[in-house]
Amino acid sequence: MDLSHHGYRASAKPRARAAPPAGDPLLFDDTSSAAAPMNSQGYYTPGYDMGGAPPGGPGNAGVNNLFADPMASAAMMYGSSLANQGKDMVNKEISRYVSVNKLKYFFAVDSKYVMKKLLLLMFPYTHQDWEVRYHRDTPLTPRHDVNAPDLYIPSMAFITYILLTGMALGIQKRFSPEVLGLCASTALVWVVIEVLVMLLSLYLLTVHSDLSTFDLIAYSGYKYVGMIFTVLGGLLFGSDGYFVALAWSSCALMFFIVRSLKMKILSSLSNDPMGAGASAKPRLRLYITVATAAFQPIIIYWLTSHLVR
């Protein structure tokens, strides 16, 4: 079966039994809600198909016996319908708090995007065009636009950072499983604090930008990539390598944050001829952007210095 990402677009294709149910590729299509009910039906037809069509090849005698037994097949159908109901209920509850469509946008990535974005995070100085491209009023998915924020890299980098922390603490013979959980929740709490402070300052200064909460979480989560690079430098090359890697990733991350947020925060000003730019608003917005950028090296140092002695 064609599992390349071009195959994901052909939503009219009938689902072969070998289709991995976890890789619901229909969900990555442009998040129209018409795809979702079709998908939840399509997800369970393999289950019913298995009861109907007997599998070919050796060893099907036993399987045929199981499904020829009406009690077993009835129980299986009942069980799958229960699971279906449970899944629908969970989806309904979750979609009341978190807009799942909006979340799907942030995870629509492919490996080319991830490579380019990681390169951009570590060396942003040669990138020319920082505008997020739009396609008929909706922002392009990260698959098509390298400037779009995504949540895949931050979440993967967070998990990698936790694993690296465990390894670094193990090298120092200070490891215990509780420390891992503590480190994970500390890092998460700092991200939450930073996102809340950003939201509060954007609200107070009435910046009408299109930065949603998930965008801010994404931009805050990009610092984990810097943290991983710093910890790796410290582990491989000792204390000197740690500070060199810290300086490099801090500068790169600061540049990246300033250039990315400048587009969103500062350019939401209208260019009306209102005096010689004497209002405090552009300055305060600039302060926010610079403060966000300056916060990144501090938190990177704070969260990684105890790993490298």
Residues within the interface to other proteins (CB under 8 A): 182-183, 185-186, 188-190, 192-193, 203-206, 281, 302
Q: How far apart are CA 268 and CA 207, in angstroms?
A: 7
Return the amino acid letter for 55.
P
Name the minimum Å distance from CB 193 to other proteins.
7
Return the amino acid letter for 281.
K
Comparing CB distances to other proteins, the nearer of 76 and 197 is 197
Name the minimum Å distance from CB 179 to other proteins.
9
Comparing CB distances to other proteins, the nearer of 11 and 185 is 185
Residues 6+ apart with CB under 8 A from 209: 202, 264, 265, 268
Comparing CB distances to other proteins, the nearer of 182 and 294 is 182
Write the CA distances from 182 to 162, 202, 287, integer angstroms. 10, 30, 32
Comparing CB distances to other proteins, the nearer of 109 and 308 is 308
Other Cβ atoms less than 10 A from the Cβ of 231: the count is 24
- The angle formed by the CA atoms of residues 28, 120 and 4, to the nearest 5 degrees, is 30
Comparing CB distances to other proteins, the nearer of 87 and 174 is 174
Name the minimum Å distance from CB 283 to other proteins.
13
Which H or E element spans position 222? none
Q: How far apart are CA 253 and CA 117, in angstroms?
A: 12
Name the minimum Å distance from CB 196 to other proteins.
8
Name the minimum Å distance from CB 204 to other proteins.
5
Name the minimum Å distance from CB 186 to other proteins.
5
Q: Six-digit token pair at 32?
A: 């129209």
For the chain, what's the residue count? Answer: 309
Comparing CB distances to other proteins, the nearer of 65 and 186 is 186
